[in-house]
Structure 1
Amino acid sequence: MKASSANMRDPEHLGSVSSLPITQPAAAEQISHGGNLDAARRRFPGAPEPWIDLSTGINPAPFPIPDLPAEIWSRLPMRSEEEELLAAAAMRYRVADPGMIVAAPGTQALIQLLPRFLPMSSVEILGPTYEEHEACWIRQGHRVSVVSDLDRSNRADVVIVVNPNNPTGRVIPSSALRTVAQALAKKNGLLVVDEAFVDVLPETASVVSDLPPATIVLRSFGKTYGLAGLRLGFAIADTSLASRIRAELGPWAVSGPALRIGKAALCNPHWLAATTTRLQSDQQRLDAMLEAAGFAVLGGTPLFRLARHFEAVKIVEHLGRHGVHVRAFSHEPQWLRFGLPGGEAAWNRLSTALLGA
């Protein structure tokens, strides 16, 4: 990045897709994700139904969908509806200016968009973490490396931190992130903080209420609110950069139903408070269940737990035959990530399957 630090905050100086040199994208690699029940069913055709999908970090008790007017399905979303959602998001996330917030069809769309309109950069990702960050930047020709601590990221143009981390649950203090952001701002760099799982942590874990310079924060909606199929997420940045992201997404990026449901959920702090309390209790229950089955709990968040077992590969097979889908990691074959069961029947099935492993 060659422009001055001041220009970093001006979308006209961030480059555009048409002005960037054409590069040959790196070959896309297949990334394993949670939630692929079709593959699990093919692998274990005799497993009992319904499957219990614990392979994601999605709240199993979703926000109740409000009644929606019939016409919201048959007309384009209105700008006023988007503005109402952004105002609700600003209130929920404690952001002073709704103009700093961009609504998108899920944070995955934003993860794929950012590498497309930034100049070719040296990118360092604090990992191991959600692999789509690395894949998307590599695909657009950026120079990408994964580092184990922030002290090793001082030569990068772009630094990416998933906070809390997926899958380890590691939380980088806001003070450390601000130090990184200030250093990047001095050389026209950029800090990207993916806060997909931060909603149920203390508010001090997020940097959005006092956004550092040269920083983009990504916030997921579907995970905490249990409505991943709605496809809604947010980018929070300086207003000039937010405007650029909004322009790149184009009109009607978020569906009318998502705008309406997102607003209702973000305006309901009582539901979020009760949900946070329940998730924390369920996290403790899951930890105890895993430890009783011989796992060492390594970390996670209230929405998922990361655990280690020397027989993890065999346990995945055993759980699969019992219709329980968990997240395994090829690069760490002793790791398994467990989401939270939804309802007593699911808890009992998991307990029975684990004790029989």
Structure 2
Amino acid sequence: MLEHGGNLRDAAHHYGRDDWVDLSTGINPHGYAAPAPSSAAWHRLPEPDPEFLAAARAYYGAPRLLPVAGTQAAIQALPRLRPPSRVAVSAPSYAEHAYHWNLHGHTQRLVPYPELETAVDASDVVVVVNPNNPTGETIEPERLLDWAARLHARGGWLVVDEAFGDTAPELSVTRYAAQPGLIVLRSIGKFFGLAGLRLGFVAAHERVLADLADLLGPWAVSGPAQEIALQALADTGWQQDAQERLAQAGGRMVQLLQEHGIASTGTPLFRWWPEARPEAFHEHMAARGIWCRLFRDAARGIRVGLPATEGDWRRFEQALHEWNKQ
């Protein structure tokens, strides 16, 4: 299993402390206050709720959507829907994409973002994370739609992972996903802060969605998840407040890092930078009860999410100050 953020139990076991400031994920620390599900949500088999699906289509602007048990479920399933193909995966990016395309007989290669344009015509499938996790790199929608059309002309796919797309709606191509050749992944976990629901969506042509639904089987999304997400997706007031709050907190993080000599990239939910000594930085923070995300390979560096409280902000600022004094 690949390494991910959020593994606080491992951190507590290794360092022997339980007072963590968790900056290891890009999950909104002030997520949607989940209502208590109805008793029916617990006791009935979770058939798809039309109101839930309508709320999701309205929020994402997508003509067709398939709810899945987190975008991870789709990431693992999509490579099983194609014969052996030439697959280009944007790099560095969320490692699960390359890992699963590599498991199912495909010829997979990692392609840096500046080289993706030339990779389109030499590939059957191109996978792009937009905005990228962890670096925050972006690609404008017009280029993505052009790539999707070129790939479709050869029976190919463009897979766009927009798990962090809520804070950059101008980049989204979800509303175009009914056209053949384009597959878009969206997540409830990041912007809404509801990672524990294990809920995501796939927007794509109806044939792809039907094949994916057959592969994943019935009852892929629980009844409680559907009820909670229905309210979150329809709550436009909370969404507007969250956008403003995240923009403010994200700007604060950029400024804080700059004050300590760190030039970062990312989104309002996380920042990343190519740290010269990432292992040492990670260890320095962990010794002070701050859990950040260490990247050792192509994205060698550090990623931090947003602190949840003023006390957490102060602890992180103090740890940065102590790092700079070394």
State the Cα distance separating 1:275 from its structure 2 match: 0.5
Aligned to 1:76: 45
Unaligned runs of 5+ in 2: none
Q: Could you report, residue by residue, the CA deviation over 1:156-209 in whole angstroms, capped at 9, with x for unpaired residues?
A: 1111000011111111011111111111111111110000000111x3210111
State the Cα distance separating 1:71 from its structure 2 match: 3.2
Aligned to 2:224: 257
Alignment partner for residue 179 of structure 1, among 129, 141, 146? 146
Aligned to 1:208: 174
The count of residues paired between Structure 1 and Structure 2 equals: 319
Aligned to 1:120: 84
Aligned to 2:25: 56
Alignment partner for residue 297 of structure 2, among 316, 331, 335? 331
The answer to whether the 8 Å contact 1:312/1:333 transfers is no
The answer to whether the 8 Å contact 1:313/1:334 transfers is no
Aligned to 1:140: 104
Cα distance between partner residues in 2 of 1:73 and 1:305:
38
Where do residues 17-28 of structure 1 align in structure 2 (5 Å cutoff)? none
State the Cα distance separating 1:332 from its structure 2 match: 5.3
Aligned to 2:73: 109
Where do residues 213-232 of structure 1 align in structure 2 (5 Å cutoff)? 213-232=180-199
The answer to whether the 8 Å contact 1:311/1:334 transfers is no
Q: Does 1:283 align with 2:250?
A: yes
Aligned to 1:13: none
Cα distance between partner residues in 1 of 2:135 and 2:284:
24
Cα distance between partner residues in 2 of 1:190 and 1:117:
11
State the Cα distance separating 1:250 from its structure 2 match: 1.0
Cα distance between partner residues in 1 of 2:98 and 2:61:
29
Aligned to 1:295: 262
Cα distance between partner residues in 2 of 1:208 and 1:78:
24
The answer to whether the 8 Å contact 1:164/1:171 transfers is yes
Cα distance between partner residues in 2 of 1:42 and 1:291:
32
Q: Could you report, residue by residue, the CA deviation over 1:63-84 in whole angstroms, capped at 9, with x for unpaired residues?
A: 01123222322221133x2x22
Cα distance between partner residues in 1 of 2:170 and 2:274:
29
| TM-score normalized with structure 2 length | 0.94
Deviates further, 140-149 or 228-237: 140-149
- Secondary structure of the 1:209 match is helix
Amino acid at match of 2:94: Y
Q: Does 1:166 align with 2:166?
A: no
State the Cα distance separating 1:320 from its structure 2 match: 0.3
Flag the 1:141–1:333 CA change in 2: closer, same or farther, 3 A: closer
Q: Could you report, residue by residue, the CA deviation over 1:41-97 in whole angstroms, capped at 9, with x for unpaired residues?
A: 23312x4x3211111110000101123222322221133x2x2221111100112x3
- Secondary structure of the 2:167 match is coil
Cα distance between partner residues in 1 of 2:2 and 2:258:
29
Q: Does 1:40 align with 2:11?
A: yes
State the Cα distance separating 1:232 from its structure 2 match: 0.1
* Percent identical: 41
Flag the 1:210–1:117 CA change in 2: closer, same or farther, 3 A: closer
Cα RMSD of the aligned pairs, angstroms, is: 1.5
The answer to whether the 8 Å contact 1:308/1:336 transfers is yes
Q: Could you report, residue by residue, the CA deviation over 1:220-270 in whole angstroms, capped at 9, with x for unpaired residues?
A: 111110010110000000112212211211111000000001111111122
Cα distance between partner residues in 2 of 1:335 and 1:91:
37
Unaligned runs of 5+ in 1: 1-29
The answer to whether the 8 Å contact 1:313/1:333 transfers is no
State the Cα distance separating 1:294 from its structure 2 match: 2.6
Q: Does 1:67 align with 2:33?
A: no
Amino acid at match of 1:350: F
- Secondary structure of the 1:356 match is helix
Cα distance between partner residues in 2 of 1:291 and 1:44:
29
Cα distance between partner residues in 1 of 2:9 and 2:60:
35
The answer to whether the 8 Å contact 1:294/1:309 transfers is no
